[in-house]
């Protein structure tokens, strides 16, 4: 299995950076009292945030990845010790031009975060 897949699109290469964070969402009523006792009102558990990036990918790969994550929400299948599929959205996308080779092909570093819907 590839590390990550966006809908039906699987990137040609696994990402060079890949980090999965699992968190919970608590209500505004959660927090510590004056005596230090924690009151937790969890609204939702198991929210995922995936930080992912590719190094030195060409224009074609860059365009394919960015196109695959262009929707408001999309399906992401990823490895977290087992295969997980979530509806997600993308936050800011970083595209850094690294170099252009002698043939004019440009190479990029691309990174972004994906967050559970």
pLDDT score recorded for residue 115 = 97
Average pLDDT, the chain: 94
pTM of the full structure = 0.87
> Tens digits of per-residue pLDDT, 62-72?
999 999 999 99
**What is the tens place of the pLDDT at every residue in 9-31?**
999 999 999 999 999 988 888 88
Element (H, E) at 74: strand 74-79
Q: 88: pLDDT confidence band, cut at 50, 70 and 90?
A: very high
- What are the sequence ranges of the domains in the chain? 4-27+40-116
Give residue-wise pLDDT tens across range 34-86: 899 998 888 898 899 999 999 999 999 999 999 999 999 999 999 999 999 99
Which of 106, 55, 112 lies closest to 89, judged by CA?
Answer: 112
pLDDT, position 13: 93
Q: Which residues face 54 on adjacent strands? A: 110
């Amino acid at each position: 299995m590839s590390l990550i897949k966006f809908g039906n699109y699987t990137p040609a290469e696994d990402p060079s950076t890949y980090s999965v964070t699992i968190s919970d969402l608590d209500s505004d009523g959660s927090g510590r009292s004056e005596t230090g006792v924690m009151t937790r009102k969890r609204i939702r558990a198991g929210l995922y945030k995936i930080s992912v990036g590719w190094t030195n990918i060409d224009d074609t790969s860059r365009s394919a990845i960015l196109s695959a994550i262009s929707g408001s929400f999309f399906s992401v299948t990823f490895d977290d010790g087992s295969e997980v599929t979530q509806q997600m959205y993308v936050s800011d996308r970083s595209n850094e031009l690294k170099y252009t080779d002698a043939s004019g092909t440009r190479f990029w570093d691309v990174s972004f975060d994906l967050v559970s819907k």
